[in-house]
């Protein structure tokens, strides 16, 4: 019985690790999505089924000691189920995509369902938090300083994730959106890497430096600087006949009668 518990626990742990790696900003949301539980439980059932097969056929892998052979069977069942359920028997070409057919198809479908469930659950919260955190932040002032500061606060961000973030920020800077719209999208990008708590702390620290109107604030929006208007010159006084009255040096003789 202990062997089954260990095999199920190891197999479930693999499924949990896969899901957590996909939602690093708020992994606790996974608990409230039913499809994530189905994904984890199928991984656990695979481990238990593999161990049952090993016990049925009495595969000891050349180990004579009962204690060692039991531990070996548990490890083989856990690792073997991971490989079997993530394998494909053959690949079918559908349109422009290669579709794997095999045990991995079931896990892929459940993983996609978990993705959609978590996305729908997090969308409203992410929108509210992003609007609250990035309110008043200028994208033009924050596009370099804020990502650099967030990455500096996090000590274990891989070079690949940093490069992907920089590429996404550069693409955002070349868009046709207003400064405020780009600032909100910048907050979403940083939230995916750093999470809402780190992003809020970084923005609060740097707010005096990154707040204010940007270069693009939208048509008629706050912070837009229009062309300099020069007031019209005051016309010189004219006589009753319409002639310009000039004084000394060609200046208008305003005081003459």
Calculate the CA dihedral of residues 62, 66, 69, 75 and round it to 10 degrees: 180
Per-residue pLDDT at 249 exceeds 70: no
Q: Cβ atoms within 10 A of the Cβ of 146, count?
A: 25
Q: How far apart, in whole angstroms, are the C-alpha atoms of residue 14 and residue 209? A: 43
200: part of which helix (H) or strand (E)?
Answer: helix 196-210
Per-residue pLDDT at 171 exceeds 90: yes
Per-residue pLDDT at 24 exceeds 70: no
5-14 pLDDT tens trace? 888 888 888 8
Q: How far apart, in whole angstroms, are the C-alpha atoms of residue 250 and residue 247? A: 6
Grade residue 227 by pLDDT with cuts at 50, 70 and 90: very low
Give backbone dihedrals phi and psi of 211, rounded to 5 degrees, phi first: -95, 160
Q: Cβ atoms within 10 A of the Cβ of 16, count?
A: 15
Higher pLDDT, 216 or 32: 32
25-84 pLDDT tens trace? 667 777 777 777 887 888 888 888 888 888 888 887 777 787 788 888 888 888 777 777
């Amino acid at each position: 019985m202990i062997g089954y518990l260990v095999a199920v626990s190891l197999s479930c742990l693999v499924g949990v690790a896969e899901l957590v790696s996909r939602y690093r900003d708020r992994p606790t949301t996974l608990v409230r999505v039913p499809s994530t539980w189905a994904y984890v439980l199928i991984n656990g059932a695979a481990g238990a089924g593999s161990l049952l097969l090993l016990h049925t056929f009495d595969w000891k892998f050349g180990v004579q000691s009962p204690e060692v052979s039991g531990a070996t069977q548990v490890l083989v069942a856990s690792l073997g189920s991971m490989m079997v359920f993530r394998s494909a028997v053959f690949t079918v070409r559908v349109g422009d995509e290669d579709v794997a057919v095999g045990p991995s198809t079931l896990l892929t479908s459940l993983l996609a369902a978990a993705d959609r469930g978590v996305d729908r659950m997090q969308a409203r919260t992410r929108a509210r938090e992003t609007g609250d955190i990035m309110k008043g932040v200028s994208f033009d002032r924050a596009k370099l300083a804020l990502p650099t500061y967030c990455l500096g606060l996090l000590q274990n961000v891989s070079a690949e994730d940093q490069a992907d973030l920089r590429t996404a920020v550069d693409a955002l800077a070349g868009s046709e959106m207003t400064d405020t719209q780009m600032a909100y999208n910048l907050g979403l990008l940083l939230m995916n890497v750093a999470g809402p708590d780190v992003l809020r702390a970084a923005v609060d620290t740097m707010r005096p430096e990154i707040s204010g109107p940007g270069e693009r604030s939208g048509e008629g929006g706050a912070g837009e600087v229009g062309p300099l208007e020069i007031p019209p010159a005051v016309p010189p006084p004219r006589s009753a006949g319409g002639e310009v009255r000039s004084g000394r040096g060609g200046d208008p003789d305003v005081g003459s009668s």
